[in-house]
Amino acid sequence: MFFKVLDIFFIIFHSSLIIFNLFGWVWKKTRIANLVTLLVTAGSWLILGLIVGSLGYCPLTEWHFNVLNRLGIYDLPVSYIKYLIDRLTGININANLVDSVTLWGLVLALVLSVLINIRDFRLRREMRDEK
């Protein structure tokens, strides 16, 4: 029962984080937090990925997959997004396609977040200078 609750927790939390990473830059109040989570995510994928020997590494994925192993689920893909799509739709989507879309989604969200946060910073500075 405990591991089923953890499974549900990870589905909700990890999916929410993914959605926030992709779209958190849209709302002014969440832009800085979004930039932070995007940088942490990219850092995990790159820095932790190099350390553990797997680019794209995410500790949340590892923890969730450990929970799924405890529930007797072992045939898991490398990608959490692929796992999520497979689980929610029942469609066995191509792993390379999922990895490409996932990478480009992060890159696009990160670029947008950086640009919008720079714009907001400049606007705040201009408003402060005018006073």
Please state, rounded to an integer, the average pLDDT across all residues of the chain: 95
89 to 32, 81, 93, 109, 129: CA distances (angstroms): 33, 12, 10, 24, 53
3-state secondary structure (DSSP) of residue 76:
coil
pLDDT at 128 (0 to 100): 82
**Where along the chain do its domains lie?**
2-130
Confidence of residue 119 (pLDDT cuts 50, 70, 90): very high
23 close to 105: Cβ distance less than 8 angstroms: no
Q: Does residue 131 carry a pLDDT above 80?
A: no
pLDDT at 59 (0 to 100): 96
d(CA 85, CA 99): 12
Confidence of residue 91 (pLDDT cuts 50, 70, 90): very high
pLDDT (tens digit per residue) in 38-77? 999 999 999 999 999 999 999 999 999 999 999 999 999 9
Q: Does residue 126 carry a pLDDT above 90?
A: no
Q: Which of 89, 80, 114, 79 is nearest to 11 (CA)?
A: 80
Confidence of residue 129 (pLDDT cuts 50, 70, 90): confident
Q: Does residue 97 carry a pLDDT above 80?
A: yes
d(CA 65, CA 78): 10
d(CA 2, CA 7): 9
pLDDT at 13 (0 to 100): 97
Q: Which of 60, 18, 57 is nearest to 37 (CA)?
A: 18
pLDDT (tens digit per residue) in 12-22? 999 999 999 99
